[in-house]
Amino acid sequence: MELSGAEIVAQFLEDEGVDYIFGYPGGAVLHIYDALFKQDAVKHILVRHEQGATHAADGYARATGKPGVVLVTSGPGATNAITGIATAFMDSVPMVIITGQVPRAFIGSDAFQEVDSVGISRPCVKHNFLVGDVKDIADTLKKAFYIATTGRPGPVLVDIPKDITAPHIKIPYIYPESVDIRSYKPVTKGHLGQIRRAAELLLIAKRPMIYTGGGVVSSNASQSLTELTKRLGFPITQTLMGLGSYPASDKQFLGMLGMHGTYEANMAMHECDVLFAIGARFDDRVTGQLEQFCPDAQIIHVDIDPASIAKNVHVDIPIVGDVDEVLSDMLEILKTIDATPDKEALDGWWKKIEKWRKKDCLQYNRKSKLIKPQFVIEKLHEVTQGDAYITSDVGQHQMFVAQFYPFDKSRRWINSGGLGTMGFGLPAAMGVQLAYPGEQVACVTGEASIQMCIQELSTCLQYGLPIKVINLNNRYMGMVRQWQEFFYEGRYAMSYVEALPDFVKLAESYGHVGILVEKPSEVKSALEKAFAMKDKLVFVDFITDQKENVYPMIAQGKGHHEMVERELA
């Protein structure tokens, strides 16, 4: 088969099994768009801004586990995509971004729409390539998909100069089935000796604690994690990125840990004697003050990325490997060890934990005449039977979902944890809804975040995506306001969002349905009404309590045992 470079790109994507590609055309990718136009295996979703393309591909990838694919042009197309690439990089999401580049002869000449895409993306990609010859396009794309999806996943950018996609240069094409990169051989099988040592340490623990992160989601290890946790009978907490990979409704689950984690999870972290960290990276929002982190604990850490181990915290038993493989091996090894967890010690530990749990640290004023954001999330959980895909933007609303929407399944909770990218929620929801057309998909957002990628409402109309936008509108950048209240004596510098649009009219002008909700008594019925419109995007604008804060909270530089809790009148 003789194909042009552009046709190779299109044919390769089909052969690689790509069903959706998110993008925006421009000069340097016109040949590729022309090739895509002539086929229908790969469906192209036209966004309204390249940031939206990357977030949509990201949402698709997080929900399905398959790589998200992006196609943008050179120059501003590439730079607009950077925020979304960095978002995917921080949360280890597999993504392949194809950027057009000016023709090879023009590279370095400050040509129209030229930017050094490989250089500008380097710090926020797992790897990137500038393709130098039409003969290298297929192999390079294969390498990109392989690198993006194996080991610790991440975004890989492939920059393709326009001249090598030209229609008149045709070369033979064969889909490269496999790839061998001598400098890239990720380890997936954990060291069995280390796994045995870890198992033995877990069995003699008096106050054990399991702490898991996004690695369990990436590795599709929910089942082995659940089996192991059940077998051991230990308490478990999860990071923001891990939520859902262990059923939140189970009684061994203590809720999220960290800055806005539960009292019981953070106290159990502080007092545990053995910490079993799985696919988590000891982020500063999780650990709090490092000097005070798990002061009495011996630490076991499983991670596929050796660089994540002992980066922030000393680890006693490091295990490099794929989480699912390591946990499966550990389950096998536990069967061969003639010992069981220390039941007496464990009973005492659970009693202590139940006492912490009784504090009910997430309580809020349920009698308020104003709509409490927590109440909206609780009702959202009720109306969707806890089974929706929820995306979010960044801020208070994101924390309220993490606290008040207990996820029982993996890949249902889709948010920007590491980079904390406002504007993520709506485009990410598009990717999720395209992957699962029949499922309930809600984007929980705030009036500040939603405006960062609001233009994608237009994309949603074009492709008939019936996302429910849950706008928690407190007329403030809530998290910024909260920090200003706590740490800047209430000087609300630029956190008040003046001149807000009428979101109902805005939704309507984009061709969608808008609902305004101002009273707590209307919350549930509005949600029911929204979800009943199965083929419509519904934008529900909840006017919420302006002064509500996220509790509990560990201030920066404090330890897990130094939480600030809500005082109810």
Partner 1 sequence: MRYIISILIENEVGALSRVAGLFSARGYNIESLTVAPTEDASLSRMTIVTCGTESIIEQISKQLNKLVDVVKLNNLIEDAHIEREMMLIKINVAQVSKQELMHLVDIFRGRVIDVASDIYTVELTGTGDKLDAFIATLEEGAILETVRSGVMGIARGAKALSLQQ
The residues that touch partner 1, with contacts defined as CB under 8 A, are 118-119, 122-123, 126-127, 130, 147, 181-184, 305-307, 310-311
Residue 74 or 449: the one with the smaller Cβ distance to partner 1 is: 74
Residues in the chain: 569
Q: How far is the CB of 210 from partner 1 (least distance, A)?
A: 25
Written as six digits, the tokens of 97 are 């971004």
Given 477, 479, 553, 563, which residue is catalytic? 479
- Residue 301 or 357 having the CB closest to partner 1: 301
Q: CA-to-CA distance for 256 and 252, rounded, in angstroms?
A: 12
Cβ distance to partner 1 smaller for residue 189 or 314? 314
**For partner 1, the closer CB: 18 or 131:** 131
**Distances in Å between the alpha carbon of 161 and those of 115, 129, 155, 165, 426?**
12, 11, 20, 7, 31
Q: What pairs with residue 274 in β-bridges?
A: 208, 298
Catalytic annotation on 113? yes
Measured distance CA(546)–CA(396) in Å, rounded = 11
Shortest distance in whole angstroms from residue 99 CB to partner 1 = 15
CA–CA dist 384, 47 (Å, integer): 28
Is the peptide bond between 247 and the residue preceding it cis, with omega within 30 degrees of 0? no
Look at phi and psi of residue 296 and say left if phi exceeds 0, alpha if psi is from -120 to 50, else beta: alpha
* Closest CB 131 distance from partner 1, rounded Å: 11
Q: Which is nearer to partner 1, 44 or 152 (CB)?
A: 152
Record the tokens describing residue 188, joined without a space.
Answer: 């997936």
Q: Which residue carries 């299109």 as its tokens?
A: 10
Please report how close the Cβ of residue 6 comes to partner 1 at its closest, in angstroms: 23
Q: How far is the CB of 88 from partner 1 (least distance, A)?
A: 16
Under DSSP, the state recorded for 310 is: T
**Catalytic choice (126, 142, 143, 162):** 162
**Residue 464 beta carbon to partner 1: minimum distance, rounded to whole angstroms:** 39
Catalytic residue selected from 37, 112, 486, 487: 112
Catalytic residue among 11, 12, 22, 50: 50
Residue in 39, 113, 292, 455 annotated catalytic? 113
Verify whether residue 486 is a known catalytic residue: no
- Residue closer to partner 1, measured from CB, 43 or 127: 127
2-4 and 20-23 beta bridge pairing: unpaired
* Cβ-contact 471, 445 below 8 angstroms: yes
**Known active-site residue 479:** yes
Give the residues across from 513 on adjacent strands.
538
Buried b / exposed e over 294-326, threshold 16 CB at 10 Å, is beebbbbbbbbbeebbeeebebebbbbbbbbbb
Contact 260, 399 (CB under 8 A): yes
The set of catalytic residues is: 50, 112-113, 162, 479
